[in-house]
Amino acid sequence: MGATKHLDLTLIDGYLEALDISVIKQMLDLYVEQSSLYMEDIQHAVNSDDSKAWQEHCHKMKGSAASAGLKLVHQKLVYLEKTGENRDYKQQQVKALLALNGEAINAFQQWLLGK
């Protein structure tokens, strides 16, 4: 999957114009670390069937994904934050989000290798 599918290249190229590539790499590293914590929180919200916590944690990760330029992850979280579906559905969506997030991170890493 190409970077153009997963990444907001306008945003990231803007970062590249204003910031050193090492800062962008640090930004991605921070996102990877934070998204792992967000995913744990989202999973916990599903396990405890806590809709309020689900919305809060999806909202936090949504903002982080947007700031990192991960457009498909952001779009998925826009939807998930508002979903009122049952726990089984949310469990499936967590797995899909985890996979999508991994693909987006890989796309960003590949983009960085080309710089």
Asked whether the beta carbons of 73 and 101 are under 8 A apart, the reply is: yes
> Which pTM value belongs to this model?
0.94
Taken in order 49, 79, 56, 63, is the CA torsion positive or negative? positive
Domain ranges of the chain: 3-113
- The pLDDT > 90 percentage for the chain reads 94
Tens digits of residue pLDDT in 13-28: 999 999 999 999 999 9
At the fourth CATH level, the homologous superfamily of domain 3-113 is HPT domain (1.20.120.160)
Alpha helices in the chain (DSSP H): 3-6, 9-18, 21-47, 51-68, 71-82, 87-113
Asked whether the beta carbons of 104 and 6 are under 8 A apart, the reply is: yes
Residue for token pair 């907001």: 8
Tens digits of residue pLDDT in 36-61: 999 999 999 999 999 999 999 999 99
pLDDT band at residue 4 under the 50/70/90 scheme: confident
